Amino acid sequence: MKFIDFFSNIAMPLMIIIIVLYGVVERKKVFDIFLDGAKEGISTVFNIFPTLVGLFFAIGALRSSGIIDFIINILTPLFNTLNFPTEILPLALIRPISGSSSIAVATDIMNNFGVDSNIGFLASVIMGSTETTVYTIAVYTSSVGIKNTRFVLKAALIADFVGILTSIIVCRILS
C-alpha cells in the first residue's frame, strides 16, 4: 500500500520530467510546443462554449420541468412487470443526459438504500458502465465541427442501454 501511495504521489511529476527529458534529447523546444498546445486548447474551448451553454440550458429545463418524473411515473408499471428495479429508473434515464445530475441521483439512491444494498451496488455499476452520452457527443462533435450527430447519438444511446441492461444482469448474478 505504501508503494501505491508513493507511486501515485510521484506519477505526474515523473511524467513531466520524462516529457522534458525526451524533448531535450530530441532537441525540441518543449515550452514552445506546450504554449502551442495551450493556445489550441483555448481555441477549442471557445469553439465548444456555445454548445455547452445550450446543453446546460436544455438539461436545466428538462430537470426543472418535471418531464423526467412524468416519464418515470409512466414507465414504472411496465418495469415492475419486467421485474426491473424501478428505484434505478431515475438514474438510468438521467445518466446519458447529465453527469452531475446522475451523481446526485446515485448519491440519493445510496443514502436511501445504503451502499451495501443490491440497489446501491447496481447504481454503482451503472455509473461505472455508462457515459454522459449527450454531453460527450456535444463536446466532441462541436470541437471538430460535426453538425450531423444522429447516427452517433443512436449508437451511443444503444450502448448506454446495453450497459444498463448488462449491469442489471451482472448484479443479479453476483447477488
Q: What is the pLDDT of residues 67-109, one digit of tens each?
A: 888 888 898 888 888 778 888 888 988 888 888 788 888 998 9
**pTM of the full structure:** 0.66
Indicate if the pLDDT at residue 52 is higher than 80: no
Residues 6+ apart with CB under 8 A from 149: 137, 141
Q: For residue 105, is it within any domain?
A: yes
Q: For residue 153, is it within any domain?
A: yes
Q: For residue 20, is it within any domain?
A: no
Q: For residue 96, is it within any domain?
A: yes
Q: What percent of the chain has pLDDT over 90?
A: 18
Angle at CA of residue 46, ends 153 and 131, nearest 5° = 30
Q: For residue 16, is it within any domain?
A: no
Residues 6+ apart with CB under 8 A from 91: 102, 105, 106, 109, 123, 126, 127
Q: For residue 81, is it within any domain?
A: yes
Number of structural domains (the chain) is: 1
The domain in which residue 143 lies consists of 49-174
Q: For residue 169, is it within any domain?
A: yes
104-123 pLDDT per residue, tens: 889 989 999 998 898 999 99
Cα-based distances in Å from 42 to 2, 39, 126, 144: 38, 5, 33, 14
Closest by CA to 168, choosing from 132, 121, 136, is: 121
- Number of other residues whose CB lies within 10 A of the CB of residue 51: 16
Indicate if the pLDDT at residue 125 is higher than 90: yes
Grid cell digits, residue 174: 453476483
